[in-house]
Amino acid sequence: MLLSKYATKSPWLFRINTGSCNGCDVELATTALIPRFDVERLGCKYTGSPKHADIVLITGPVTARSENYLKRMLVEIPEPRVIVAIGICAISGGVFKDSYSIRGPVDKYVDVDVNVSGCPVRPQSILDGVAKAIEIWKEKIEQFHEG
Amino acid sequence: MAGFFKQAIRNFVLGPTTDPYPFGETFLPETYRGILTYDSDLCIGCSTCEHVCPTNAIKVEEKEDGSGISFAFWMNTCTFCGNCVFFCPTKAITQAPNFHTARPQDEKYELTANGEVNLVKCAECDKMIPPFNEILLERAYGEVTDEIRMKAALCPDCRRRLHFERLYL
């Protein structure tokens, strides 16, 4: 498939904040995007719509308030998709673990593919994680078109 | 206008500012606090690190047969705050300048630092005690004599009995 061949070269990134402290979001939206680190060199592009998303970057420990929004958002993201958990809150709950208002971590709700830990995550680690996610996404899209 | 030309000439000389990281080398600050490394030879098993850790990333457990204490540091819930490094009395925990924390999901629980402190027998009785550490003795007494070393190898009960006998018998 010609389309899948070119699609693997330009995955679209989508961010979901599930009640994080905004540290990881700052690293994702500004630090990893500025010319200094430039996540777009890997062929990625941020999108504003979950329906266009290929690689989903989830931050935050899933608070009780954001739980329902996360569930509704995940329904809208089409397969094949790659889920990347950014920051220790998304991976394990971090400092907010076992708190009364925390429903996370993220892998209770969706099959996470890549974990990138840090508090907040270093921009180079985000690039590492996105590069890993692109590899996984290539495999997934091949499987999707074969079967 | 002068500022613009200054900047333009500077950019022309210095070249692109993009860090070549995924394809090349990157930079690290000298005091970068990266993932933890643990040296069980220096550790005395006091579990201060477990007490000061804000995220419960450190798990200290006594082994079932009582022969040692096992330490596990899970990096996927560690904030790299450096509390354990600061409070460790023997500097058994250090932070390596390493930021490679991106792992696939099936390795989620493998990004750890592990180690065990083997307990030693008390010189007089059969009680198991943590091994004493020269660095700590030096900090406490300045000059370490053989008498101090002999007493440090005793369990607290035996040491108390020794002092009592010396004073009152």
Are the beta carbons of A20 and A89 closer than 8 angstroms?
Answer: yes
The total number of structural domains that make up chain A: 1
CB contact under 8 A, B55 and A88: yes
For residue A67, being part of any structural domain is answered with: yes
Band (B134; pLDDT cuts 50, 70, 90): confident
**In chain B, domain spans:** 30-99+107-118, 121-169
- CATH number reported for the structural domain that contains residue A21 in this entry: 3.40.50.12280
Residues of the domain holding A42: 2-141
Q: Count the Cβ atoms, other than its own, within 10 Å of residue A104.
A: 28
Query: Which segments of chain A have a pLDDT < 50?
Result: none
Average pLDDT over residues B6-25: 84
- The mean pLDDT value of chain B amounts to 88
Band (B125; pLDDT cuts 50, 70, 90): confident
Measured distance between the N- and C-terminal CA atoms of chain A, rounded to whole angstroms: 13
Residue B93: both structure tokens together? 């925990």
Interface residue A40 vs chain B (CB under 8 A): no
Are the beta carbons of B108 and B100 closer than 8 angstroms?
Answer: no
| Closest CA relative to residue B39, chosen from B75, B85, B99 | B85
Nearest CA in chain A to B53: A95
pLDDT of residue A1: 64
Interface residue B31 vs chain A (CB under 8 A): no
Are the beta carbons of B53 and B26 closer than 8 angstroms?
Answer: no
Reported ipTM: the value is 0.84
Band (B87; pLDDT cuts 50, 70, 90): very high
Are the beta carbons of B78 and A117 closer than 8 angstroms?
Answer: yes
For residue A115, being part of any structural domain is answered with: yes
The structural architecture, per CATH, of the domain B30-99+107-118 is 2-Layer Sandwich (3.30)
pLDDT of residue A15: 92
Interface residue A113 vs chain B (CB under 8 A): yes
Distance from CA of B80 to the nearest CA of A (A): 7
For residue A147, being part of any structural domain is answered with: no
For residue A146, being part of any structural domain is answered with: no
